Amino acid sequence: MLRQTHQDFGLCPPRAAGANDEGEIGGQMVTRATSPTTHLSELATSPPVAIDASASLRQAAMAMREHDISCVLVGEGRDFTVCTERDVTTAVAEGHSPRTAVSRIQGATPRIIDADATVQDAAVLMLHYGVRHLVVVRDGEPLGVVSVRDALDALARVASPILANALHEALTTRSDCWLG
């Protein structure tokens, strides 16, 4: 069952129709200005999307689609794991029914990062561990999830044209470099 009160935070949410170059619509911020030195705690303004362990793969996929995210927490408080788009597609490809409980397909313990770390720190950890998501925590409590897309967005904003082109090429032609 989905817990509807939780929302994800993202560094790079979808740009709303009519947003100006600063990402504003009628004074409401649509995107957050981030840089590699931005602390993750500055970005965690609402709790992450979470589902119960009894939720189905279909419910996990629906929650990710509804919130335009690629990872949900499974469980609550300090006792959680994650379910990613990759987990769902792998499970279905292996023959699991969309009605299968996410708790039946959960793998390794999720990688976490402290809320006082920077976006750059998150990017380094994701590369080191070969993962695309880190759960942002403070005192063991999850505050949100940072994705590789979030980190690349922040890094590309300050990158030289050469680095920006290299990042673009790596993302579009060398998926083996970042698919973990």
Domains of the chain: 39-177 (3.10.580.10)
> What burial class does residue 7 get, using C-beta atoms within 10 Å of its C-beta: 0-12 exposed, 13-18 middle, 19+ buried?
middle
Number of helical H runs and strand E runs in the chain:
5, 8
Cα 103 to Cα 3: distance, rounded to the nearest angstrom:
16
Residue 97, pLDDT > 60, answer: yes
Helix residue ranges, H only, 35-179: 57-67, 85-93, 119-129, 148-158, 161-173
Residue 102, pLDDT > 50, answer: yes
This prediction's pTM: 0.71
The better pLDDT of the pair 175, 173 is held by 173
The better pLDDT of the pair 91, 176 is held by 91
pLDDT of residue 6: 29
DSSP secondary structure letters along 156-171: HHH--HHHHHHHHHHH
Residue 157, pLDDT > 90, answer: no
Residue with tokens 């699991």: 96
Say if strands 133-138 and 112-114 run parallel, antiparallel, or are unpaired.
parallel
Please give the C-alpha separations between residue 42 and each of 23, 91, 96, 124, in angstroms, as whole numbers.
18, 34, 39, 19
